[in-house]
Amino acid sequence: MIGVLALQGDFAEHMDVLQALHAMAKEVRSITDLEGCSHLIIPGGESTVMARLMQSCGLWDCILDRAQKGDLAIFGTCAGAILLASEIHGKNAPPSLGLVDMTIDRNAYGSQLQSFHADMDLSTMGRVQCAFIRAPKIIRTGKAVETLATYEGNPVLVTQGRFLASTFHPEARGERAVHRMFMGL
Ligand code: GLN
């Protein structure tokens, strides 16, 4: 079962992609909802707000505990990727789950006005449609991290063990390849 964290942000678009892939999926708003999920998507949105909501309902500690035990695969997109990082740069950075050994710079491309679309060729997945919306930049990756795609020299899709992080939104354009890959983790 794939859970989509549904406290804030664009969780509905992730649910649409999972439905198109005929995956078993549900929205997660509580610790009880997370039970039975082997996979969790942390969507894009506002990382500071999402972290606060996760902490206040107890999901933060529960997710961290299960992820550290290897009991939960996590895909973080944009704000979700920020929360997965071990180090977050930028003003008013949220707390981090620290599950992926990387440094990420929040809002590194600027404001909403600097949001953009790009199509990228990923060796493993072919051409992937990506939306960058107030996207962060991954500015350092540790040895355990594998970079799966770069854009203008910066990693935009990385993986470490059962964790996957993208600074872009595949779901915003109905792209399915990245979700399909996550389902295999
Ligand atoms: N800039 C947002 C943040 O820092 C992330 C934007 C997004 O998820 N599209 O949380």
Question: Each residue of 21-65: pLDDT tens digit?
Answer: 999 999 999 999 999 999 999 999 999 999 999 999 999 999 999
pLDDT of residue 128: 81
Domain range annotation of the chain: 2-183
Q: Phi then psi for 114, rounded to 5 degrees?
A: -95, 15
Query: Looking at the domain 2-183, which fold is it?
Result: Rossmann fold (3.40.50)
- How far apart (Å, rounded) are the C-alpha atoms in residues 145 and 147? 6
pTM across the whole model: 0.95
Give the mean model confidence (pLDDT) for residues 114-133: 78
**Annotated catalytic residue, options 37, 39, 130, 171:** 171
Pocket test for ligand 1, best of 10, 41, 42, 107 (most atoms within 8 A of CB): 107
Above 80 in pLDDT, residue 130? yes
* 119 pLDDT more than 90: no
The residues lining ligand 1, judged by C-beta closer than 6 Å to any ligand atom, are 44-47, 78-79, 82, 106-107, 133-134
Please report the beta strands in 52-179, taking only residues with DSSP state E, as ranges in sequence order.
Answer: 73-77, 85-89, 100-105, 116-122, 126-132, 137-141, 146-151, 154-160, 163-166
How wide is the angle at C-alpha 153 spanned by C-alphas 100 and 92, nearest 5°?
Answer: 50
171 catalytic, yes or no? yes
pLDDT digit string, tens, across residues 135-154? 999 999 999 999 998 888 88
